[in-house]
Amino acid sequence: MPNKRVTLADVARRAGLSTAAASMILNGRTDTRLSAEAHARVNDAAAELGYRPNVAARGLRTRKTLTIGFISDVVATTRFASGLIQGALDAARKAGHVLLVLETGGEPARESEAIEAVLDRQVDGIIFGVMRARELFVPDIPPATNVVMLNASNKKHPVSVLPDELSGGRAAVRLLADAGHRNGIALIGHNKEVEKNLFRSATVGQRIAGIRTEMAERGLRFAAEESCWDWEPQHGYDVTLSLLKERRDIRALLCMNDRLAFGAYQALADRGLSVPHDVSVVSFDNDELASYLRPGLTTVALPHEAMGRASIELLLDHNRRPDQHLIPMPIIERGSIHPPAD
């Protein structure tokens, strides 16, 4: 292994040509009039020396670095973020790009820092991922920058990727309705504040809207709506338990996410009710948890990877629509839905 990296000049020297010729040949330019022999000599030299171009040097001239900045507020806290990153990494790799990943914790100061850091490195574009619901997002990015919003939308940067929560919400209701549930359906985790305040989480608003639309279209009504502020297992447990103490007619639970459903499972077990024979459960996200539960939880999945992938593809696609791109939410059928007993 040579001590120094092989440069274009090395290749040109070995081929007995100028760096200009070598550059044009290696870049496959067709408008060049260089002889077939020159092509062969340069290609051979490059292969023999194991030449690899220096991306930074090239970028200096061409303003293309084959590098994309992926800035998100949170990376590790939720599996959601990793799925997005995973999809983005893979799509980027396939397009010959590489990702500069930064995390901001949602703090505006760090967001600005992150944007500067990636711009300093001449990225070809920025994916801005938002995992936590947030009021608004405003850091200044130079107008010429190629930006895609991931899981968020923003007026200044119209190209965005979002899960198709409206259809997803409808799908969840459809799953229960198709199994024959018409009465005794409870909504777990409905949250009036969120429903009203689209800034807090645009996507969850759509989820609820889809649920309500589909219920209405089928002439169905919830037997109960249990509201809670946070959507952690503990809350699912608490509200479900208190619901079950009051009501004996609950036959299905529509949970706003899998963690609530997880808590609901525990509450159902505590009350001696079996899933799905006594009570069906359906929820959202396809959290890792959902497959661990017994029986497996039927859920409407957040399409993490597809979204991550889409964000990269959009970023690199020059004639994309400057618009929201909705990614379908797959239905993951496991064993938590069953026709009502009575």
What is the contact surface with a copy of itself in residues (CB under 8 A)?
1, 3, 5, 52-57, 59-60, 65, 67, 70, 75-76, 79, 81-83, 85-86, 89-90, 93, 98-103, 110, 113, 116-122, 140, 142-144, 233, 237, 259, 262, 266, 269, 288-289, 292, 294, 304-305
Q: Which of 14, 17, 240, 255 is the binder for DNA (CB under 7 A)?
A: 17
Q: Which of 40, 47, 57, 198 is the binder for DNA (CB under 7 A)?
A: 57
Burial 72-94 (b: 16+ CB within 10 A, else e): bbbbeebbbbebbbebbbebbee
49 interface partner picked from DNA, a copy of itself, none, CB below 5 to 8 A per type:
none
The two structure tokens encoding residue 329: 């939410």
CA 39 to chain CA centroid, Å, is: 44
130 Cβ contact partners less than 8 Å away, ≥ 6 residues apart: 72, 73, 137, 149, 150, 151, 152
CB of 41 to DNA, least distance (A): 8
**Judged by CB under 7 A, does residue 213 bind DNA?**
no
Q: Which is nearer to DNA, 37 or 288 (CB)?
A: 37
Indicate the helix (H) or strand (E) that contains 6. Answer: none
The DSSP line for 51-103 is ----HHHHHHHHS--SEEEEEES-SSS-HHHHHHHHHHHHHHHHTT-EEEEEE
**Judged by CB under 7 A, does residue 30 bind DNA?**
no
Question: Among candidates 205, 187, 183, which has minimal Cα distance to 196?
Answer: 205
Assign 3-class secondary structure to 307-327. Answer: HHHHHHHHHHCCCCCCCEEEE
Q: Which of 13, 43, 49, 58 is the binder for DNA (CB under 7 A)?
A: 58
**What's the length of the chain?**
342
106 interface partner picked from DNA, a copy of itself, none, CB below 5 to 8 A per type:
none
The two structure tokens encoding residue 259: 């963690």
CA 304 to chain CA centroid, Å, is: 4
8 interface partner picked from DNA, a copy of itself, none, CB below 5 to 8 A per type:
DNA
Angle between helices 165-178 and 202-217 (to 10 degrees): 40
CB of 116 to a copy of itself, least distance (A): 6
CB of 91 to DNA, least distance (A): 24
Q: Which of 47, 60, 138, 269 is the binder for DNA (CB under 7 A)?
A: 60
Number of H helices, E strands in the chain: 13, 12
284 interface partner picked from DNA, a copy of itself, none, CB below 5 to 8 A per type:
none
Interface region with DNA, contact rule CB under 7 A, candidates 60-68, 69-77, 169-177, 183-191: 60-68
CA gap 307, 302 in Å, rounded: 9
Interface region with DNA, contact rule CB under 7 A, candidates 9-17, 107-115, 223-231, 250-258: 9-17
CA gap 60, 76 in Å, rounded: 33
Q: Which is nearer to DNA, 7 or 234 (CB)?
A: 7
Q: Which is nearer to a copy of itself, 52 or 320 (CB)?
A: 52
Q: Which is nearer to DNA, 14 or 190 (CB)?
A: 14
138 interface partner picked from a copy of itself, DNA, none, CB below 5 to 8 A per type:
none
CB of 93 to DNA, least distance (A): 20
**Judged by CB under 7 A, does residue 144 bind DNA?**
no
144 interface partner picked from DNA, a copy of itself, none, CB below 5 to 8 A per type:
a copy of itself
Reduce the DSSP state of residue 330 to 3 states and report it: coil
CA gap 289, 179 in Å, rounded: 23
Name the site residues for DNA (rule: CB under 7 A).
Answer: 4-5, 7-9, 16-21, 23-24, 26-27, 29, 32-35, 37-38, 51-54, 57-58, 60-62
